[in-house]
């Protein structure tokens, strides 16, 4: 299956991508560049480094800008995912979501509306087990 990974460059999205690559094809990374540093949906610290990470990983990246206004940023996310589907033929989205029902529910809804699978391999993982797994991998 071909997936796009919602990619902030943080440990959770990087590890979710790593896990996806073990079983499926990661066709692209999708990064949302929010102008709002306090975005409810998107990780913003060091987000501009994702292009370099994508090059190092040899995975194409689709970067999309949003003003970061609550709920409007979901339209931008849907547009980015739709563009990735059209450009890279993805069949689903991988997220690094662990605890945020707010984020997970919204991404799942967008995927459902676009006819895509949604996979969150780290969802509700025990934090201690997760850190051990990160060290092991």
State pLDDT tens for residues 7-34. 999 999 999 999 999 999 999 999 999 9
Residue environment code for 22-59, b if the CB has 16+ CB neighbours within 10 A, otherwise e: eebebbbbbbbbbeeeebebbbbeebeebeebbeebeb
Domain range enclosing 74: 2-136
Tell me the C-alpha distance between 90 and 8, whole Å.
Answer: 18
Read off the pLDDT of residues 84-95 as tens digits, 9 standing for 90 and up.
999 999 999 999
Give how many domains the chain has, as a whole number: 1
Task: Report the predicted TM-score, pTM, of the whole model to 2 decimal places.
Answer: 0.94
User: For residue 100, what is the domain's CATH number?
Assistant: 3.40.50.620
Tell me what percent of the residues of the chain surpass a pLDDT of 70.
100
């Amino acid at each position: 299956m071909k997936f796009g990974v919602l990619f902030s460059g943080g440990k959770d999205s990087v590890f979710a991508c790593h896990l996806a690559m073990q079983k499926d094809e990661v066709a692209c990374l999708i990064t949302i560049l929010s102008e709002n540093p306090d975005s409810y949906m998107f990780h913003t610290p060091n987000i501009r480094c994702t292009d370099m990470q994508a090059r190092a990983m040899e995975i194409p990246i689709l970067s999309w800008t949003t003003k970061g206004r609550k709920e409007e940023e979901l339209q931008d996310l849907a547009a980015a995912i739709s563009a990735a589907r059209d450009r890279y033929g993805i069949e689903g989205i991988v997220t690094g979501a662990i605890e945020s029902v707010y984020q997970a529910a919204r991404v799942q809804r967008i995927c459902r509306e676009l006819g895509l699978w949604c996979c969150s391999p780290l969802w509700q993982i025990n934090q201690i087990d997760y850190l051990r797994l990160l060290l092991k991998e």
